[in-house]
Homo-oligomer: A and B are copies of this chain.
Amino acid sequence: MRRGILEFCIVSVLADKEIYTAGLIDSLKSADLIITDGTLYPMLNRLQKAKLLQYRWEESESGPPRKYYSLTTAGVEYLSKLDTAWQDMTASVESIRRGTESE
């Protein structure tokens, strides 16, 4: 029941801060959204190819370098579209869920 919504969550998190993969996974986990890196890497690459994300390499103090992602200008616009779509969809589902009155 989660499909397509993960992308919205990821873009939302990136709106707040520059972050790399493990941090993204932790951010979502703290909201009870479990995601694996096998899901995340293809998504980040896809969004980056679509020019919605950018990244820079940053060295780590304890391991290999990390890709820190952030939104591009187009990514910010995309987020606002996703946000509108999210609100529309939840409103629609709520209207169904609450019962569409009797027949």
* Identical subunits present: 2
Task: Assess whether B96 is in contact with A9, with CB atoms less than 8 Å apart.
Answer: yes
How near does chain B come to A75, taking the closest CB pair, in angstroms?
15
Give me 4 other A-B pairs in contact (C-beta within 8 A), A16-B100, A17-B102 excluded: A8-B97, A12-B96, A12-B99, A17-B103
25 contacts between A and B (CB under 8 A): A1-B82, A1-B86, A1-B89, A2-B89, A3-B3, A5-B93, A8-B97, A9-B92, A9-B93, A9-B96, A9-B97, A12-B96, A16-B99, A16-B101, A16-B102, A17-B102, A27-B96, A27-B100, A30-B100, A31-B92, A31-B96, A32-B88, A32-B92, A33-B93, A86-B97
